Chains A and B, each alone.
Chain A
Amino acid sequence: MSDIISTQATVTRVTGDIAVPALKITDLHCSYAGVEILTGLDLSLAQNEILCLLGPSGCGKTTTLKLIAGLLTPSQGDIEVSGKLVDSDKLNLAPELRNVGMIFQDYALFPHLTVTANVLFGIRKLAKAEQVKTVDYVLDLVNLTEFADRFPHQLSGGQQQRVAIARALASSPALLLLDEPFSNIDSQVRHHLIEEMRELLKSHNMSAIFVTHSKEEAFAFADRLAVFNQGRIEQIGTPTELYNQPASRFVADFLGLVNYVDGIVIDSHHVETELGLITSSKAIEYAVGSSLQLALRPQHLLLQMSDQGKGVITQQQFLGMNCQCSIKVAGRDTMLTVLIPQPMQIGQAVNITVVSHELVLFSE
């Protein structure tokens, strides 16, 4: 028992000064083949925090990850890992000297090495006894002890991923980088794996940065989200903050379905729209009389059957747990998307009411 605890101490990073951020990026620029991929990125990650970089492909999130690992060279800007400067105007520390772990999209397991040898690859400088202990510990952690002598091609996708995790954890990095780690996993087991991995990282006090283009993965895995758009961060915050209070239409659209409705501010808590008067649970920051766009998530709209209703159900899609339907509202060009618990009749006229909540308003 004491053995395991002492091994755990070598794997679990002793989190020193909690005030020192696990990662600090200042004004980072990067260009590849003459194209600016990152344009002045600032980012900070607290100890033990999991941050997700979310965005469409080609937005620079994987580039950011590779810059942190030292696999690419920035054209400008500073990077600090756990208080140690690794990139600046004068410095570009080699990847092998940065003490970061990385999990690649294809896992990058060495096909010519067994599971054990793959894990040993990063800790060859430890004492022999220490190596054995660490391998035993991390393989036990990811439940692969009985596969220790297999080669990567003899493992399933999920098992390969767990080897990659074990290998990265073995060298107890100051920071773990994950590049789309779930994209090659079957959607049926993905959710379970995300939960498991989050548990693992949290129980070992790992600071991690995780890249994905899937909002579901991001919501389930991250403490904080940074939404990327064309080489810069559009907004950063907790998943609920970003979902409920998006700072731009890009973020609002990227994180889920949105209905946009024109409206005019009546007073500090009310907006007049084509759907009627809508109440905000929080004071509106815009001046009375401003003409704005109101972003409404499908779940903020409620339907009631009514022959005099302004809306008509024109299409619906049964999703299992609920049903998504499109409503044609008289005088509106675009359909409204609404989630309802049970399917209704196509052609049914409905009344639409908006649940009172903290309204999200954009000035065009």
Chain B
Amino acid sequence: MNHKLALPWHFSCWFIAFALALPVIALGVEALNPDIAIFQQLYDTVLMDYTRNTLLLTILVAIISCVLALPAAWIIAMCEFPGRKHFQWALMLPMAMPAYIVAYIYTDMFDYAGPVQIALRGWFGWQSVSDYWFFDIRTIPGAATVLSLVLFPYLYLLTRTSFLEQSTSLIQASRVLGHSPWASFWRVSLPLARPAIAVGLSLIAMETVADFATVNYFAVNTLTTAVYDTWIGYGNLSAAAKISVMTLFVILLFVGLERFARRKQQMFQKNMLPEQEIRYPLSGFAKYAAMAWCWLLICAGFLIPFLVLLNYAWNYFAESWTEEFFQYSQNSLVLALVVAGLAVTFAVLLGLYRRLVATKQASIPARISSMGYALPGTVLAIGIIIPLSAADFMINDLTELLWQWTPGLVLSGTVFALIFAYLIRFSAIAVGSVESSIDKISPSLDLVSRTLGHQPNSMIRKVHIPLIRKGVLAGFLLVFIESMKELPTALLLRPFNYETLATYVYQFASDEMLEHAALAAIVIVLVGLIPLIFLNRSLEQQH
């Protein structure tokens, strides 16, 4: 049913969509800028290496994530062993750990001067580097391992769900048709989970390509660090835009892969009866191996780094408990609250627009607003700087002309740029959350409200808004959390003398003094734990 909406509503929806799409348009336009001197120079020297690094890193992260996550997903979904229920959610804990913090802590631990090598030298009587071989963590494989340790939960979560959703009768049919549990895994469970694995891997790949802090900390040069260096180092916007567009193509590759995988997922989950879960009971060696594997992942990805952080905070409490810590916490908090509030407002507006104007075009604003999530933080920042600085110049020219006075960089040089960037990056989360709860409202409720004499506006107030409150709240919370954690966008766009918790922690980490910002790091981790509680609750309800 098509409900007649006021014109401002149509207008504001399309305006939001346009504003949120602006950086991508700006990047495209700026990339076409014929000034290619710097870009040419980069291209001739390092750019190909950076691209190769990016791809190599992504492939390594994908492989290591598979090795870590797939066995864990299968044993949690299909086997019964002590502690399974707790491992089920504990395996998601690493998601709360920012990768650069893990990178810092493991570098500290495994470096030449770190406790591990010191202990080894003590035990074996080695004198210097030449006496023994030890892996170097500041390499591409090292960065890939660290990123995998915090990114594998994506793959674990999706694959585990996929294993659980597979009809038990398929496994039983495979057994009756002469396959052992092991053969059934290879010939039935794994092929059926393939779409979920592909989706998980493409998410991980997108996160890896977008990562800035970890690779920068390890001095591994990728496309994202190239964007950062070109802008901060050379101050060349057009070259940065060109590299950004290159990065976007890599991202688009993975988005396409994800879409392709999801297309198949539909058919794999149709027509299956829900059944009771039947798990293989594990005993003896298998039982201990399963438990050890889960413990290994949880310790390496969460417990060890978190305990080290707690230890830092304890030992350096006075250095951490500073006025800056409170000032920057407040900055992050206010910023995140504003962004989350605006994001859900836009999401509700766009979601209801799509619902009430039941045409194909009406869903376009919501789709456009969801695209920003795929933009890596550094790329997004460049995309924002281009239109905002242009607007600033225009404003200043105009005021100069009219009143002989210039206000300065009111858009690109203030928190406005940060809020705008965060909105683009995280609107997708709010839109997804709100949209899914709108879709759960039966269309007949709309018909009933209208026949009972309610205008569209009154129907929205009395029926829709009360019913989507939960989705709005969840969207708000998720955007809030992501905004608290976001680093690369903030690094490039923050105004002079403005720090968020994340940039504060990152500065100390790059200055090899994370100890002094341990409290701030702990706050970031704890905030990151909140969505896991929600996720776990919704999973518990399902199974």
Contact = CB atoms under 8 A, between A and B. Distances in A.
Interface of A: 66, 69-71, 94-96, 98, 100-102, 104-106, 108, 110-112, 121-122, 124-125, 151, 153, 167, 171
Contact of A167 (B172, B177, B278): B177
Listed residue (B175, B177, B187, B278) with the most chain A CB atoms within 10 angstroms of its CB: B177
B169 A104 contact: yes
A71 B172 CA distance: 7
A151 B176 CA distance: 21
A121 B177 contact: yes
B172 A111 contact: no
A102 B176 contact: yes
A110 B174 CA distance: 9
A106 B180 contact: no
Given A106-B167, A112-B191, 20 more contacts: A69-B172, A70-B175, A71-B172, A95-B176, A96-B175, A96-B176, A96-B178, A96-B179, A98-B176, A101-B176, A105-B169, A108-B167, A110-B170, A110-B173, A111-B192, A111-B267, A112-B194, A122-B178, A153-B267, A171-B177
B173 A151 contact: no
A66 B276 CA distance: 13
Nearest to B278: A71
24 contacts: A66-B172, A70-B176, A71-B175, A95-B172, A95-B175, A95-B176, A96-B180, A100-B176, A106-B167, A106-B271, A106-B272, A108-B170, A110-B174, A111-B192, A111-B267, A111-B270, A112-B194, A121-B179, A122-B177, A124-B178, A153-B267, A167-B177, A171-B177, A171-B178
A105 B273 CA distance: 9
Contacts of A104: 169, 172-173
B321 interface: no
B169 A106 contact: yes
A167 B170 CA distance: 13
Q: Which 5 A-B pairs have the closest CB atoms?
A: A122-B177, A108-B173, A95-B175, A108-B169, A104-B169
B180 A151 contact: no
Interface string B507-531: 0000000000000000000000000
B43 interface: no
A111 B173 CA distance: 13
B268 interface: yes
Contacts of B173: 102, 104, 108, 110
Listed residue (A70, A101, A106, A125) with the most chain B CB atoms within 10 angstroms of its CB: A106
Listed residue (B175, B270, B273) with the most chain A CB atoms within 10 angstroms of its CB: B175
Contacts of A102: 172-173, 176
Listed residue (B175, B176, B178) with the most chain A CB atoms within 10 angstroms of its CB: B176
A276 to B, nearest CB: 52
Contacts of B273: 105-106
Interface string B237-279: 0000000000000000000000000000001101111000010
B328 to A, nearest CB: 51
Nearest to B175: A95
A108 B173 CA distance: 6
Interface in B184-212: 187-188, 191-192, 194
A94 B180 CA distance: 8
Nearest to B269: A111
Interface of B: 167, 169-170, 172-180, 187-188, 191-192, 194, 267-268, 270-273, 278
A2 to B, nearest CB: 28
Contact of B172 (A94, A108, A124): A108
A121 B172 CA distance: 13
Chain A binding surface, main DSSP class? loop
A95 B194 CA distance: 26
Contacts of A151: 267
B178 to A, nearest CB: 5
B169 to A, nearest CB: 4
A121 B188 CA distance: 10
B374 to A, nearest CB: 28
Given A112-B191, A112-B192, A71 B270 contact: no
Nearest to B275: A106
B182 to A, nearest CB: 11
Contacts of A106: 167, 169, 271-273
A180 to B, nearest CB: 11
A71 B268 contact: no
Contacts of B188: 110
B176 A112 contact: no
Nearest to B176: A102
A122 B191 CA distance: 17
A105 to B, nearest CB: 7
A153 B192 CA distance: 14
Nearest to B171: A108
Contacts of B170: 108, 110
B346 to A, nearest CB: 38
Contact of A94 (B175, B187, B267): B175
Contacts of B176: 69-71, 95-96, 98, 100-102
Contacts of B271: 106, 153
A69 B173 CA distance: 10
Contacts of B194: 112
A66 B173 CA distance: 11
A249 to B, nearest CB: 32
Nearest to A95: B175
A76 to B, nearest CB: 19
Contacts of A124: 178
Nearest to B268: A111
A121 B174 contact: yes
Listed residue (A100, A112, A122) with the most chain B CB atoms within 10 angstroms of its CB: A112
Contacts of B278: 71
Contacts of A70: 175-176
Nearest to B276: A32
A111 B271 CA distance: 10
A305 B533 CA distance: 75
